[in-house]
Amino acid sequence: MVILKRLPAQGTIGSKEIGVLREALTRNWLRILLLVVLSCAVLLPSLSTTSLWDPDEGRYAVCARTAIREGHWIVPYYNGHPRVVKPPLMVWLVAASSLAFNKGEVTEWTARLPSVLAAVLTVVLTFLIAYILGLEPNASMLAGLILLTSHLFCKQGRFAITDMVLLFFLIASFFCFVMGYGLGRAMPNERWYLGMYLFWGLATMQKGPAVGFVLPVLIIMVFLWSSSELYRVRELISLWGIAIYLLLVLPWPLAVGKDYLKAFLWDNNVKRFASNPEWKSSPFFYISNLPFQFMPWSPFLVLLFGTIRKVKLEFEVKTAFLWCWFGVVFLLFSLSDTKRSSYILPLYPALSILVAWAFQNLEWHERELRPYWKVSLVLLGLSLAGVCGGMVWLWWNRMPVDPLGIALGLFGASLGAPLLLYLLSKERLKPVVGLVFALALGYSLLYTAWYQPTYDRYYRSPKRYIMPMKKLLGSSRLFHLGSIRSHDLFYFERDHIPAWTPKDGVEVLKNSYLLSRGRKVDAFPTEIKAGLNEVIEVKYRGKRMVLLRGDNGV
């Protein structure tokens, strides 16, 4: 399979008669269709058979279900209380997906569908941005494939949380900026800036103004400064654009009132960025985290480094925009007290395009870049062997022995690296590039179609303890001890599970049940234990989940 190929000239690109976007779509529709098909093939498997993993998945699913059942559309409700720490757009998207495709019943599939659609569109936009900035068509397609098969993107594209939809809104705003500003093959057209404001507004309603507005504006400002074109700021300011943004953003906080200012803007944005001891991480968190999350393409950051060092930057100002995009996101979130892998997801499209640009230069400057290429391949072989070994260790320690899992792990660890090193000894470049892409695609398909559902079935799924307890509960009232887990609310099909503590007394639990971890039950005072009967105990992820009933119970 040939990934990169120098194509003959295709006429005057960016001409007024054709238009760069129309040209990108009409001359590359097969590539775009292939990207969509591959994206669906990677992201859709086991979407409904893998339980809700991330805590926020359950929160958005429960809030959407409550909105559909009880009409809490303006202010989402979670476990019986209003939730204003996040804007409601993701709740609306999950609810709309469930109403459109499942008659209003929220499931894993309907909850995750907005993220999957956003991921597919993000891959397509990555291709278009790469093409418009100046990459050749096949290299632009490779940029989309790199993004699709990178570990974090593949994982987040299947979660019912805000990050992937936010990424789509952000990259759509950058696409509008590139078209409006006239970067690469595009001709300047200020009408595109209206779309930029539109997507800024949607991004703000997805996760707030800090990420939805301040972050993209900061990236663009840094780019203009680095290009000595700050004077062009005035062309970005549009009264119609500002009106579109405010029309999208203002109604909800006005409806919520001062709670929005306190719970969301101050507590969830300013304080989490500046001072958050509970989530505080090292400033080097992303330096160590990014190489793992960008697998299996992170070894080719060596090739990118070599391209910057050995090859003159044909991209010039276009590359500057990508580096500003990457650098601002990386630096800003590295300075934040609160760090999670998904927070730097917005830099992945830029990084994917840069790595694809390095691959394109590898074909053109093979002699200069071959040493970096060899190092990248060695690192890839070692990384894949490490991943396979880690999988075997994980299976061995956390789940019943799975012959297929161990066989795959040992096969990859024992044959993957030597096979790459064998191809490395040859002087043929394109077959190795094809194999690298095939490995990346296989890695992603293995993760979504086999690893996630298998790991979920044996280790992660809360259904293991919830379903047998749910049968015993019937319609009886259920309390919880300790912090409620969002998947408990979702799979018990309860919109509200009230909290209980030993101080409340066992009288509160009359004709009711209590869900708790075994270690907390063991610490109960004697008089509390005397008033409770253990109904069922199920082990879950190394913990004992216990369902108890009041002594005067059902």
β-partners of residue 540 are: 543
Whether residue 329 contacts residue 219, with contact meaning beta carbons closer than 8 Å, is answered with yes
Q: How many CB atoms lie within 10 A of CB 312?
A: 8
pTM of the model: 0.90
The predicted structure's pLDDT at residue 270: 59
Q: How many angstroms separate the CA atoms of 505 and 528, rounded?
A: 7
Task: Name, of 309-323, 399-413, 426-440, 452-466, the range with top average pLDDT.
Answer: 452-466
Q: How many angstroms separate the CA atoms of 198 and 175, rounded?
A: 12
Q: What percent of the chain has pLDDT over 70?
A: 84
The predicted structure's pLDDT at residue 210: 87
For the purposes of burial, counting CB atoms within 10 Å of the CB of 426, is it exposed (0-12), middle (13-18) or buried (19 or more)? exposed
Q: Mean pLDDT, to the nearest integer, of 433-462?
A: 85
Q: Mean pLDDT, to the nearest integer, of 342-367?
A: 90
3-state helix, strand, coil in the chain (%, to 5): 70, 5, 25
pLDDT tens-digit readout, 82-96: 888 888 999 999 999
- Angle at alpha carbon of residue 214, lines to 61 and 160, rounded to 5°: 15
Assess whether pLDDT exceeds 70 at residue 418. Answer: no
